[in-house]
Structure 1
């Protein structure tokens, strides 16, 4: 049985300030998939990720199998559960991506905040 925990303030700060996060999903046989590098945002006490390429992305599709995996960012390595975000959260996550990554080209920010990308928004919940 999986037990969830909460992020520590230090983990939230380190992950939230990291430019990129490495993510790997847990396969049916309990092995981890190859790590992928993605962007990450912090909202209060929560951490969110999404696929810039939408639901067709290999890494995103692999999160659908067990909805568990491992992340690394800012010197933090943590086993997590992937929890689909609700639509109301997407607007706030869009704003967080625009704020954190706004120094990138406009077309990149448009891609990460597109409806297709928003449909893949997941909260990362730490597992014990």
Structure 2
């Protein structure tokens, strides 16, 4: 299994948001979405604030792969369902990183609906 380098982890986690394009069933990348990303330990995580019905999320979970762009990093990734035991830690990462936003926004990204869609981004090399 490929892992992020320390430099990649630091640079991607420092970004306010990244561009994520999930691959469709035919392998072509769909229109990218702008999404928040957080780091926990050696992992990078994203969530769908709109829950499991969001188009990007459905496409990502059906294909299991896509591409991200975060600053100068352009990387093919696998989308892996995050360990549910990490949900509280990932909530904390979101609340800390995006604390400058209104509490109502943070409560959406840490809601049960969003929490259930937590995906780990793993590099495909």
TM bucket normalised to smaller = over 0.9
Deviation at 1:74, TM superposition (A): 2.8
Deviation, structure 1 residue 29: 1.4
2:105 maps to 1:108: yes
5+ long unaligned stretches in structure 2: none
- Establish whether residue 13 from structure 1 lines up as the match of residue 10 from structure 2: yes
Alignment of 1:45-124 (within 5 A): 45-124=42-121
Partner Cα distance (1:36, 1:65) in 2: 17
Ranges of 4+ aligned residues in structure 1 off by more than 2 Å: none
Aligned Cα root-mean-square deviation (Å): 0.8
The alignment of Structure 1 onto Structure 2 pairs a total of residues equal to 125
User: Would you say 1:41 and 2:50 are equivalent positions?
Assistant: no
Tell me the TM-score normalized by structure 1. Answer: 0.94
Task: Answer whether contact 1:17 1:74 (CA < 8 A) is retained.
Answer: no
